[in-house]
Amino acid sequence: MDPELIKDCVHCGFCLPTCPTYVLWGEEMDSPRGRIHLMAQHVEGTPVTPEMAGHFDACLGCMACVTACPSGVRYDRLIEQTRAVVEREHVRTPEERAIRELVFTLFPYRRRLRALRLPIRLATRLRPFLERVHPSLGAMAELVPPPARPVRLPPRVHAVGRRRATVGMLVGCVQSQFFPQVNAATARVLALEGCDVVIPPRQGCCGALSLHSGRDARRFAKRTIETFERAGVEAVVVNVAGCGSSMKEYAEVLKDEPGGWAERAAALRVRDLAEYLVELGPVAPRHPLPVTVAYHDACHLAHAQGVRSQPRELLRAIPGLELREIAESAVCCGSAGTYNLFQPGPARDLGDRKARHVLATRADVLVSANPGCSMQIAAAMRRSGEGGMRVAHTAEVLDASLRGLGARALGGR
Ligand code: SF4
Ligand code: SF4
């Protein structure tokens, strides 16, 4: 934990109202300021106690405090360093270790996830039993969406009309297995906007889950850099908020690696889909889409990447579409990568809170640019008993408009 970064905190408390765990419990040690105080104690020699580790584990890593902090405290860097220390120094219970191993052995590997889609789906029927075995298993069974039709994407999708750019596309581990239709929509939208889209078939995990959990993500980062260097693309477009924010951190992750890795990482032009489309500017005609949409700010898009206006701009430009804002949009939905699996209790409370605000918009469709958020809020809406709302990705909404498919195409899931 970098003492210089810790010193930047002036204890003003401006970050407190945006911190989901402080909002839930009102406990100082579960606020950004309190956690920074614990980090300072550790730097001064206090070992990581189980209680301390609990306060760090309870942090969602949502980065709302980074956005709110007027002193520019790099809590994002601090919590990543802290998680690595917790992983090294804190002895977890055998149960916790088993659940963590299960998640980290499964989720970053697309083939393993694919093989387990059906068993996971069958496990949803056993949810009450799994819940009793371990709350994390119950959460996993509740979150998994209905099976999606598999989509096979070619290694290259050609631009429609004049080619304006050649971009790479990250398919994402969870996205490609549970929401393959989002990747198909992303490739179509980019092609309709004049991009050749290169989709390397052998791409692996970008390392987001590891990076956000204090584990070593360098191997994943290097492999991803090599994959897209070989693809010869001008930019890498990412449609998963958590993956995009991690890839934008590669230069920092690899700063001590010999071999020029930090420079190679910096040369990789990583862009969120909405960010890229706004930079590129539209050429494809938009067809009317008479639908009311509530847009959800994924934390790793809004807080970590500062991408807030671009998705709204793209959605508002669709004729007939009405955009509604969700109350408390800056507060995390509780998904936060693996948070809803490792901390199912608070994640559920935050999910229920978010679902209430989403349902209050009375929109037809909830739009989110992160599969974790989509699964988390959809599950909370199902729990609410108030009837659900279709959930779609920004790419699917754009795709429906660009292809003139009408509102019924946004079937969501
Ligand atoms: S990252 Fe989110 S949960 Fe963690 S301290 Fe900051 S605001 Fe709170
Ligand atoms: S993290 Fe920033 S906003 Fe929060 S108490 Fe410290 S200086 Fe103030």
Ligand 2 centre distance from Cα of residue 362 (Å) = 35
Tokens of 396: 């699917």
Tokens of 239: 């449609």
* Ligand 1 atom nearest 15 alpha carbon: 7
Using an 8 Å Cβ cutoff, are 291 and 365 in contact? yes
Q: At what angle do helices 309-316 and 394-402 cross, to 10 degrees?
A: 30
Residues at CB less than 6 angstroms from ligand 1: 18-21, 32, 35, 59-65, 75
Ligand 1 centre distance from Cα of residue 63 (Å) = 6
Using an 8 Å Cβ cutoff, are 344 and 136 in contact? yes
How remote is the C-alpha of 337 from its chain's centroid? 6
* DSSP percent split of the chain into helix, strand, coil, nearest 5: 55, 10, 35
Ligand 2 centre distance from Cα of residue 37 (Å) = 11
Using an 8 Å Cβ cutoff, are 332 and 357 in contact? no
Nearest CA to ligand 1 atom 4: 59
Query: From 1.10.1060.10, 3.40.1740.10, 3.90.1150.10, 3.40.390.10, which CATH number describes the 3-89 domain?
Result: 1.10.1060.10
372: left (phi over 0), alpha (psi -120 to 50) or beta: alpha
The domain segmentation of the chain, as residue ranges, is: 3-89, 280-409
Contacts of residue 101, Cβ cutoff 8 Å, sequence gap at least 6: none
Distance CA 168, CA 201 (A): 11
Nearest CA to ligand 2 atom 6: 9
203: left (phi over 0), alpha (psi -120 to 50) or beta: beta
Rg (alpha carbons) of the chain, rounded to whole number: 21
Ligand 2 centre distance from Cα of residue 115 (Å) = 45
Pocket perturbation via mutation, ligand 1, pick of 24, 31, 65, 213 by most ligand atoms within 8 A of CB:
65
Backbone angles phi, psi at 327, to 5 degrees: -60, 150
Ligand nearest to the CA of 23: 1
Would you state the pLDDT for residue 413? 41
Question: How far, CA to CA in Å, does 53 sit from each of 84, 123, 213, 292?
Answer: 11, 31, 13, 43
Ligand nearest to the CA of 15: 2
pLDDT by position in tens, the chain (length 413): 788 999 999 999 999 999 999 999 999 999 999 999 999 999 999 999 999 999 999 999 999 999 999 999 999 999 989 999 998 999 888 888 888 888 888 777 777 777 776 776 677 777 777 777 788 888 877 777 777 788 889 999 999 999 999 999 999 988 888 899 999 999 999 999 999 999 999 898 999 988 887 788 999 999 999 999 999 999 999 999 999 999 999 999 999 999 899 999 999 999 999 999 999 999 999 999 999 999 999 999 999 999 999 999 999 999 999 999 999 999 999 998 889 888 999 999 999 999 999 999 999 999 999 999 999 999 999 988 876 789 999 999 999 999 999 888 886 44
Would you state the pLDDT for residue 412? 42
Distance CA 167, CA 152 (A): 18
User: Counting Cβ atoms within 10 Å, is residue 53 exposed (0-12), middle (13-18) or buried (19+)?
Assistant: buried
Tokens of 91: 């002895």
Residue 95 CB coordination number (10 Å): 11
Q: Which CATH superfamily is domain 280-409 in?
A: AF0625-like (3.40.50.10700)
Entry pTM = 0.90
Would you state the pLDDT for residue 5? 94
Using an 8 Å Cβ cutoff, are 212 and 221 in contact? no
* Ligand 1 atom nearest 61 alpha carbon: 1
Half-sphere exposure of 300 (CA within 13 A, CB side): 30
Ligand nearest to the CA of 65: 1
Residues at CB less than 6 angstroms from ligand 2: 9-15, 32-33, 65, 68-69, 71, 73
